[in-house]
Amino acid sequence: MQGTYDFGLVALSYLIASLAGFVALEFATRLRVRSSGRRSWLIGGALAMGTGIWSMHFVGMTAFSLPVPISYDLGITFLSWVAAVAVSAIALYIVGYGRLTALTLAAGALVMGAGVCLMHYSGMWAMRMMPGITYEPGLFIASVVIAVAASGAALVIIAYLKEVRTWKDFALRIGAALIMGLAVVGMHYTGMAAAVFADGSFCYGGNELPAAVLPWPTTTATLLILGFGIGFAVGDARDLAATRRAKREMDSRVLQMAFVDRETGLANRARLSQIIVDRIRRRSTDGFALVTFRLEGSDGAVPTAEAIARLRDRLQAALPNAPLARTQPEHLVVLLDGRIDDLTARCAPVIDSLRNDKSLTASHRLVVGSAHYPTDGENAQWLLLRSAPKSAGIELFGGDSAGERVRA
């Protein structure tokens, strides 16, 4: 007895299978990125994915027409749904928990393939044909192989497709869902092709589910379930992204508090120490220097915020590419790469312009000190200490070190 197919329902079955694959990808991602509530995601994902696969099967079954009325046994049909949900739970558990290895993926593919075959062939059995359905051995074995291979491919795709962060990731996920849907549909219709219906066979009269009433209620309910599942997963992904953004912003604020001077926005002593260590690791042949500008108010008082801001702006304009830091309330330190002679020539005009700036020198005194690496020290702490001005004058690369003393 030969059957025919409604290709509209065949296309619908592929759509449902692909949506089920997309749900599987979304829920598997949630299992991997969520440290709490994973059981809820596992159960919800298994129900949504399993119902999608099961619905695809029965829409595909309904797409197949025989010259006799088709109906299904309610209990066996329900057990086929249980099998689909169980298979989906196994898949999500394998990729969502623990470390994936070739052995666990192979075992998972075998168990899943067996479950998919159980779901499919129990659904066929639910027709309770008289005489019973027989199967062509070659196509039957091919359907089993396809089920195992498709399950393995689905596990690999679900396990290694990363979380959606860009449109490219989203496109890859859509493509993966379409491939998974094609694999599931391929197994189903190979299994259908293996079925042999004897001439004159008919479904058991006590079957409670006429095939004609199954497709559209089942499809509608399944699409709603899959839609809700995708909606929850996407909403959770959005919440997770917002949480990550908030964490990055908090980390940025903490980093700013740790390494940035709040009054001037310049690097602080801790950040300058990091920069110095980085310069030392580079082992530049010319070395580098720290030039410290101390601005003192009248009677040695701490300079005003306006004076420090003025000094900062002048130094940034005169030495635009040099790291500038505030290491003490009255200290601004600039780091300059190069040899002592070159640096002295660069610094002297800057210092002269600062000394001639009446807005600074009218109520403040400028004191400058310096230290050169490696002449005056070979670590950040020692260089910062040696660069601190020690008198009311202006000295470059002098002090207690062996470096050359130059008066500006």
Instruction: Establish if 374 belongs to a structural domain.
Output: yes
CA distances in angstroms from 370 to 325, 326, 400, listed in the order given: 14, 15, 11
pLDDT in tens, 111-127: 888 888 888 888 888 88
294-305 residue pLDDT tens: 988 766 677 888
Two tokens at 248?
């990055």
Average pLDDT, the chain: 82
The domain boundary residue, chosen from 214, 247, 280: 247
Alpha-helix residue ranges (DSSP H) falling in 294-375: 305-318, 340-355, 358-361
Q: Are residues 54 and 111 in the same domain?
A: yes
Give the pLDDT confidence score for residue 400 in this predicted structure. Answer: 42
Region of 41 (left: φ > 0; alpha: ψ -120 to 50; beta: rest) is alpha
- Residue 161 gets which letter from DSSP? S
Task: Tell me: do 203 and 288 sit in the same domain.
Answer: no
Q: Please give the backbone phi and psi of residue 400, each rounded to the nearest 5 degrees, phi first.
A: -90, 0
Question: Is there a single domain that holds both residue 230 and residue 275?
Answer: no
Tell me if 256 is assigned to some domain: no
Q: 14 with 74, same domain?
A: yes
Q: What is the per-residue pLDDT for 178?
A: 84
Q: How many domains does the chain divide into? A: 2
pLDDT in tens, 2-51: 778 888 888 888 888 888 888 877 777 777 766 677 788 788 888 888 88
Evaluate whether residue 145 is within a structural domain.
yes
Q: How many percent of the chain have pLDDT more than 90?
A: 12
pLDDT at 246 (0 to 100): 82
Residue 79 located in a structural domain: yes
Mean pLDDT calculated for residue range 206-220: 79
Give, in order, the Cα–Cα distances in Å from 76 to each of 59, 135, 191.
Answer: 16, 19, 18
In angstroms, rounded to a whole number, what is the distance separating the alpha carbons of residues 104 and 86? 17
Do 124 and 61 lie in a common domain?
yes
Looking at residue 43, what is its pLDDT? 86
Looking at 247, 280, 299, which one is the last position of a domain? 247
- For position 407, what pLDDT does the model report? 37
- For 124, 162, 231, 241, 280, the CA distances from 236, given in Å and listed in that order, are 38, 16, 8, 8, 46
Given a cut of 70, whether residue 157 has pLDDT beyond it is yes
Q: Which residue has the tokens 């470096």?
A: 403
pLDDT of res. 324: 94
| 168 or 39, which is more confident | 39
pLDDT at 333: 95
Out of 31-35, 180-184, 273-277, give the one with best mean pLDDT: 273-277
Joined tokens for residue 310: 């003025």
Tell me, yes or no, whether 323 lies in a domain: yes
Residue 350 lies in a domain: yes
- Per residue in 355-366, pLDDT (tens digit) is 888 888 778 888
- Is residue 301 located within the same domain as residue 242? no
Cβ contact 130:65 at 8 Å: no
Q: Which CATH number characterizes residue 327's domain?
A: 3.30.70.270
Best CA proximity match to 40, nearest among 48, 361, 364: 48
Residues 38 and 74 in one domain: yes
For residues 60 and 124, state if they share a domain. yes
Single out the residue in 247, 279, 299 at which a domain terminates. Answer: 247
CA angle 221, 223, 227 (to 5 degrees): 120
Q: Which of 56-60, 154-158, 398-402 has the weakest average pLDDT? A: 398-402
Query: Is position 261 within any domain?
Result: no
Q: What are phi and psi of 186, to 5 degrees?
A: -60, -45
d(CA 59, CA 213): 11
Is the predicted pLDDT of residue 402 greater than 70, yes or no?
no
- Do 187 and 283 lie in a common domain? no
121 assigned to some structural domain: yes
349 and 203 in a common domain? no
* Residue 403 pLDDT level (bands cut at 50, 70, 90): very low
The domain containing residue 232 runs over which residues? Answer: 4-247
168 in the same domain as 103: yes
Q: In this structure, are residues 334 and 322 in contact, taking their beta carbons and an 8 Å threshold?
A: yes
pLDDT number for residue 63:
83
My answer on whether 204 and 283 are in the same domain is no
Query: In terms of Cα–Cα distance, which of 323, 339, 324, 331 is closest to 373?
Result: 339
Instruction: Please compute Rg for the chain using Cα positions.
Output: 37
